[in-house]
Amino acid sequence: MANAQIGGASWASQLRYWSATNQKTENNLVGRVTGTAVTYGSSANSYPDPDSFLMTFFQAAEPGGFAETECFAYTMGVNNNANPAEVLAPQITECVVQNIEETSANLAISVSKGDCAEYYYEVTDAEHGIDEIFFFDNVVLNDLISSTEYNLTITPRDFSGNAGTPYEVNFTTGGFIQISYGVANDIRFVLKSTESTLEVYMEPTDPNKTFIGAAAYLTPAGSGSFEPAGKISPDGKYFYVKTSDNSLNGKIITIDCRYNIDGEWVMSNNVITEGEMSGKPIKHLMGGAVAPETELPVLNGVEFIGRSDNSIILDLDGQDNTIVYYEITGGEEPVNAFRTGQYYFTSFKPGNVYNLTITAMDLAGNRSSNSIQVPFKAASRSNVFDGDNFNYNTTLKPEIPGGELAAIIQYNGETLTLGCTTISDKLPTGNQNRTFWSEQKSAFLPTVKIDGVSYSLESNVYNEDPELANSAIVSFTDFIGEKPLTEGAIITVQWNVFWSSNSGNFFTGVFDYKIGDYGQADIVAPTLPNLQNTGTSVTWPPCFDALSEVEKYVVNIDGDDVATILDLNEESYEYTLPETFTTMSVKAYDFAGNYSESQLPTSVCETANLNMLIISSNNGFNVVGVEVKALDLCDLTGKTIASSDNAIIQCNKAGVYLLKVTTADGNVVIEKVLKAK
């Protein structure tokens, strides 16, 4: 296997123990000498009994494949079979310390071999826990401590047990400056870490520019560089990456912030170019201390400003005398937002309700004295592919140039809802709102067939008749039958309904659906708000939307939108009425912008000031000037007003309503509202 190199996998070089019963213990030799076929390592694995056992060496070479030596006997504690010709031990003639860094140094050793053919070095420093063996003359020491004096003892040995004179060498590692933020050419960066997790944030220094591409190349001390996967924000204004790669644990990391802003990549950007640290390399100790601060960061405000694809957009406003960032909890997992201004929050699952808590933070760990909560409901992923786009769609009967059904496909990360509807503007007019038998008509169940297995559509979504439906759905959580519900999996889907007009049943075509696809925008509005007037407020139960779900309710008074109430899956919603108004309505919006609107009936709702005049009485006298303010006549029953003995009172809208009242302790209690003929 001449010219072969040992493979890079941890198992590519092994020392194997073999017991008397032929049981194998694998010890990975993970050390590699770059550019050679030399490997080395150590093992903490226990060895077989007795102390004398068999060993082999295994190598996975490139090229050449797998190779393994013949078994050889080895006795623990014996260095090697002594060679009578090896009398003079190897001696170190010189050791030069080179490339001293904060956590590493190189030793270039010169040696006189004496009588031996092969030798190795024991390198120790008891004070700092160094006790290593090296098999080559160029030694690299890693994982050192910055600004520390090391006193090494290097002892050369041959494999017959002869030891040369110990050689002393001293050096001090370089000082280290923790870098956590700064400006490097065209970008501003922030670094935040624990001992095992690193977050890197980058944004252009010019607010008018955006990233075309960006990457953070990380080089842990003593290891090779790598690029963890990160993301550019939808508006291109910032780049963020979070990684917990094992190679970073407790290490000093050199960061190369690469980017493409003006159409050309900047491939080397690892030095600070502005401020007091200008000229310093961008190095960061994982979990290392940052400069203490006593002044708390300030959180000025948070605004929910919209949605974008898989994100909600928050406007974050805070300040600090160094770096302010924002801790966001209440989502699927805690998030640190390092951008003041428009931030894209993604730690949520579709269709769920969240109440986020945002707190301003600084890198020293100080928290703002206040936090702000932002509730929101995430849109569901839904499909209504129909009309012009024949995927998961309205289907065509060969003899009819138009659609019969529109598909309902909704996925929220955990639950898949499948159904069909005739409530679609994309259907031909004659097919819109057509009814089919529901699950209450047991002989004619609507079904959906998934991968060849039929499931009944269990919920009649919109139609009040229990036997008829124009939309019906069924939901699956975690499993479809016995098959795990996995995002990205392909399933085949087919729907079947029986038309209530006795025109037989209808099968759609068979379609492939990729679980999690988004599909065409929702075109069906939510159900109408069912408004209930209490006299001082209006209440309504939650509306329903079979596709993207209900997002919010907008209250309109006299032509002006005066309030927005988020649908957070509450049992009911309420709006307090003003003392005077003419018209009032509520719109229910889904996440696609479709809405339905209900008007509070004005025929029984007059809240303008009403002068109630006594026009007759059964005891021979009249009382005038009785006044009722800001009351809804349709809800006056049981309310008390100041008036005289038994009277019939008519409102100043003559001939519209009559109020029958009786006396109660000097006041008038309304018994009943009578509509005049």
pLDDT single digits (tens) 3-57? 677 777 778 888 888 887 888 888 888 777 655 567 777 776 666 766 667 889 8
- Say how far residue 432 (Cα) sits from the centre of its chain: 39
In tens, the pLDDT along 279-300 reads 999 999 999 888 888 899 999 9
What's the domain range around 166?
91-172
User: Domain for residue 30, yes or no?
Assistant: yes
User: Domain for residue 67, yes or no?
Assistant: yes
Cα→Cα distances 478→144, 494, 511, Å: 49, 20, 21
In tens, the pLDDT along 358-412 reads 999 999 999 999 999 999 998 776 554 443 333 334 343 333 345 677 778 878 7
| pLDDT range class, residue 645, cuts 50, 70, 90 | very low
pLDDT (0 to 100) of residue 156: 93
pTM for the whole thing?
A: 0.60
More confident residue, 636 or 176: 176
Based on the fold, state whether residues 18 and 95 are members of the same structural domain.
Answer: no
User: Domain for residue 524, yes or no?
Assistant: no
Based on the fold, state whether residues 217 and 144 are members of the same structural domain.
Answer: no
Spatial CA neighbour of 105 closest among 125, 77, 81, 78: 125
Side chain identity, residue 328: I
Based on the fold, state whether residues 227 and 281 are members of the same structural domain.
Answer: yes
Beta bridge partner(s), residue 357: 329, 373
Q: Is the pLDDT of residue 614 over 50?
A: no
User: Domain for residue 596, yes or no?
Assistant: yes
CA pair distance 527, 525, nearest whole angstrom = 7
Based on the fold, state whether residues 186 and 167 are members of the same structural domain.
Answer: no
Beta bridge partner(s), residue 483: 480
Residue that terminates a domain, selected from 172, 201, 224: 172
User: Domain for residue 623, yes or no?
Assistant: no
Based on the fold, state whether residues 67 and 114 are members of the same structural domain.
Answer: no
Cα→Cα distances 202→228, 269, 638, 646, Å: 14, 12, 66, 80
Reading the block at residue 177, the tokens are: 């400056």
Based on the fold, state whether residues 547 and 506 are members of the same structural domain.
Answer: no
Spatial CA neighbour of 589 closest among 573, 571, 605: 573
Based on the fold, state whether residues 45 and 108 are members of the same structural domain.
Answer: no
- The stretch 172-192 carries a mean pLDDT of 93
SS3 670: strand
Residue that terminates a domain, selected from 600, 618, 641: 600
Based on the fold, state whether residues 444 and 413 are members of the same structural domain.
Answer: yes
User: Domain for residue 618, yes or no?
Assistant: no
User: Domain for residue 125, yes or no?
Assistant: yes
pLDDT (0 to 100) of residue 106: 93
User: Domain for residue 438, yes or no?
Assistant: yes
DSSP string, 88-135: SPPEEEEEEEE---SS-EEEEEEEE-TT-S-EEEEEEEGGGTEEEEES
> How many helices, marked H, and strands, marked E, lie in the chain?
0, 58
Cα→Cα distances 375→64, 335, 350, 526, 575, Å: 61, 16, 14, 21, 18
220: domain CATH number is 2.60.40.10
The tally of domains found in the chain comes to 7
Cα→Cα distances 242→192, 461, 543, Å: 9, 43, 40
pLDDT (0 to 100) of residue 300: 97
Are residues 151 and 119 in contact, defined by beta-carbon separation less than 8 angstroms?
no
pLDDT (0 to 100) of residue 605: 36
112-116, 182-186, 496-500, 625-629: lowest mean pLDDT where? 625-629
In tens, the pLDDT along 223-239 reads 889 999 899 998 999 99
